[in-house]
Structure 1
Amino acid sequence: MYSTGGNINECYDEYIQAAVYYGEGWDPDSFYADMIDMVALGYLLNVPESVFDPVINYIRQSDAGSSYELWTPDALLWHIINAKKPGSGSQPETLITEAYRDIYDLTKIPKADAEREMKLYIDKWYLLHKDDPWYDNHKKERSYKGYWCREAGVVTQIMGLDDSSYADHPNYPKDMVHWSAS
C-alpha cells in the first residue's frame, strides 16, 4: 500500500490488523526479512504497545524455537523493540545476517558520524540483500511491493538523525519517517 502511494493512515490501519494475524501465525520457518519489516513498521507507525506486543512475542518465539540452524537472537530486532518498548528483552550483540551489520554498528557511533554512515548504508542497501527472497522482485510478475529500507528510517528516528542528506534516496521511506498519527 505504501509503495503505491497509499495514505499512511491506511497503512497504519492495515498494520493493526496484520499484527493480529502475525501474532497468531508464528511459524518456526519464519523469514527474518518479514520480522524486520514488522518490527520496523510498528516503530515507524508508532502503534500502541497492545498492537506491538504480539510482534514482540513472535520474535521471542523465533528466538526460542526457530527451525533455522543459524538462528540467534538478533541485535537489530531487539534494538528496535527495546527502543519502542524499553525492557522488552535483553540486547544481544549477534546478528542473524551480516547484511545488517553496518546499520547496527552505526547505532553505536556519534550522531554526525551516523548521519554520514547512514547515507552510505542506504546507497548499498539493495545490493546487501542480493540473497534475500525479495531481491529483484520488480522483475517478476505480481510480486513487487517496493524496496524500502525501513530499518534506516527507524534508526534515524531512534537516534534523532538529520536525514536531509539521504531523505530523497529512492529506498528511504521518508514520508513514513516524517509521518505522525493524527
Structure 2
Amino acid sequence: MQTLDEHTFLARRREPLLSYAIYLESKHGMEEGIGMVAAGLLQPAEVLKNIPPENFMTATRQRAWDGIDLLSLAYSAGHTTADLRALYPTILEYWEEYANYDRAFDVQAGAAEQGFPHFALPGDGYEQVNRMICLGILLGWGNLLPRLAPVIDFNNHEKDGLVERLLAFSVDGRDTDWPECTRRQPYVKTLKIFAAEKQERPALMQDYLAKWYDASRREPYHDSHARDTSFSGYWSWEAAAITCLLDIDDSSYRDAAFYPADLVAFQRQPPSMRLDPA
C-alpha cells in the first residue's frame, strides 16, 4: 500500500485527530515489522529448523496485530476503500499463519504455557477481533469469515454475544441468543439493537453512538491519541457492521462521530460495483 503524501493525507483524512507525522511513523513501523517477519520466514530450511517454535509464534503474532492496526490506520488516514478491500485477505492470512504457529508452539510447550487463545476475548484481543470481523463485513469479505472464526474460537471457551451475532450472518452454528459480552462496555448495548423491532433500531443505534466513546473508557484505544504513536483513529466498527447486517436506515446518525459512514455506503453497493483486486 503506497504511503499518502501530506497534501493527499490532509485532503482525505477521515480521523481529524490523526497527524501526518504519526501516520508516517506508524505506517513505516508496521510495514517494516511485517517485512521483517516475511524475510525471516523465507530463510533456508536448515536455518528455520533450528529456530525455537516460540520465536515463530511471537513474530507472527506481532505481524497479525500490525496487520489489523495498519488497516485501521489506513482507513483513518484516507486510503481508498478499494485499497482497504485489497489488503484485507492478506491480513487474514497473517492471522491464520499466527494461529498455525501458536498451535505448533502449544504442542511442545509446558503445561503452564498451553491453553491460551490466539486472541483472548476477555482481554485486549476483543478489540482486535471486533475490528477484524467488522472490517471483513464492511469491505465485502463476509465470505472469508468462516476462515476467521476458528482463529477466534481457539481456546476462547467463554462465548461473546456480539461476536456470535456478527459471525452468524456468514458462519453456521453461532449462538445468537448468548446474552453477554466478554468486555461488556460498550459492546453489550448492541445486543438490544439486534433484539429490537426494525423501526426501533435507528434510535437505539443513534443513542449507542452518542455514548460510545465514554462507554469505551476501559478499552485500550480510549484516549490513545494523547498517549503515543499507537493511535489509529476512533471508530465504532460494530455500529457500521450492525447497520449493514440488519439493514438499518442510518439517515438519523450518518453524520455521528465515530461512525464510518462511507464504509457502510461501500458495503451497500452491489458486489459488481466494488473494485476487486486483480
Q: TM-score range by the shorter chain?
A: 0.7 to 0.9
* CA distance, structure 2, for counterparts of residue 62 and residue 22 of structure 1: 15
Aligned residue number for residue 111 of structure 1: 198
Aligned residue number for residue 6 of structure 1: 79
Structure of larger gyration radius: 2
Structure 1 unmatched runs, 5+: 65-71
Higher alpha-carbon deviation: 53-62 or 150-159: 53-62
* CA distance, structure 2, for counterparts of residue 169 and residue 52 of structure 1: 28
Q: Which has the higher contact order (CA 8 A, sep 6+)?
A: 1
Per-residue deviation, 1:62: 4.1
* CA distance, structure 2, for counterparts of residue 23 and residue 105 of structure 1: 32
Residue 55 in structure 1 maps to residue 148 in structure 2:
yes
Moved >4 Å (runs of 4+): none
Structure 2 unmatched runs, 5+: 1-73, 100-115, 120-124, 268-273
Structure 2 counterpart of 1:79, which letter? Answer: R
Residue 44 in structure 1 maps to residue 111 in structure 2:
no
2:165·2:175 contact (CA, 8 Å) conserved in 1? no
* CA distance, structure 2, for counterparts of residue 46 and residue 57 of structure 1: 20
Q: TM-score, normalised by structure 1?
A: 0.88
If each structure's helix is expressed as a fraction of its own residues, which one has the higher value? Answer: 2
Residue 127 in structure 1 maps to residue 214 in structure 2:
yes
Per-residue deviation, 1:14: 1.6
1:36·1:151 contact (CA, 8 Å) conserved in 2? yes
1:19 to 92, 103, 115: 92
1:22·1:54 contact (CA, 8 Å) conserved in 2? no
Q: RMSD of aligned C-alpha atoms?
A: 1.6
2:193·2:205 contact (CA, 8 Å) conserved in 1? yes
> 1:23-56 CA distances to partner (integer Å, 9 max, x unpaired)?
222462621010111111111112152x323311
1:149·1:172 contact (CA, 8 Å) conserved in 2? yes
> 1:52-110 CA distances to partner (integer Å, 9 max, x unpaired)?
2331111211424xxxxxxx21111111111133x243333331122112111111111
